[in-house]
Amino acid sequence: MLDEPVDPIPYLSVFITHFLNKPKNNLGIFRKLYLDHGLSVREIESITESAWSKTTIIETMREKKITKSSNAKSNRLKYGERKVQGLIVPHLEEQKIIQKIIGLKNEGFSLRKIAKFLMEKNIKSKRGDQWDKSVIGDILKRELKDV
């Protein structure tokens, strides 16, 4: 019985609770989880089995001025993208709409007119909301900078 390996999983929560009870004193671990691994506040709370509450995590972020850089990759999919087996791939139907948006802009349509055109054609935005000129502008900036 003594020669059998110990299953580390039951002891993981003890380790985490013991060493992670004060996020302010564990900035290295927190930075690795939040910045390097890109975990959300909710995910960090979950893996620490609530040893770090969301409130405590947010307070630490504010106090220590920890923020993700503006160029950090967002978890939200952009219009024209979808996830397949964990990989971000082009969403072909949305890519066609993006090409239509670019075409309308090249024809002289304003951002507002493009949004109105898409709504009149019952073309849904990524979240199913109404189209807005700011969303159209964001799509055009993203797509045209890649050209």
Q: For 93-127, write each residue's pLDDT tens digit.
A: 999 999 999 999 999 999 999 999 999 999 999 88
8-60 pLDDT, tens digit per residue, is: 444 445 455 555 567 777 777 778 777 777 778 888 888 777 778 888 888 88
Decide which of 39, 64, 89 is a domain's last residue.
64
Residue 74 lies in a domain: no
Angstrom distance (rounded) from CA 107 to CA 82: 28
Average pLDDT over residues 62-85: 74
**E strand intervals along the chain:** 81-84, 87-90
Residue 103 lies in a domain: yes
With a threshold of 0.75, does the pTM exceed it?
no
Q: Are residues 47 and 85 in the same domain?
A: no
pLDDT given for residue 105 in this prediction: 96
Range of the domain at 43: 9-64
Provide the domain count of the chain: 2
Q: Are residues 110 and 54 in the same domain?
A: no
- Give the residue with greater pLDDT, 27 vs 131: 131
Residue 87 lies in a domain: yes
Q: Are residues 55 and 105 in the same domain?
A: no
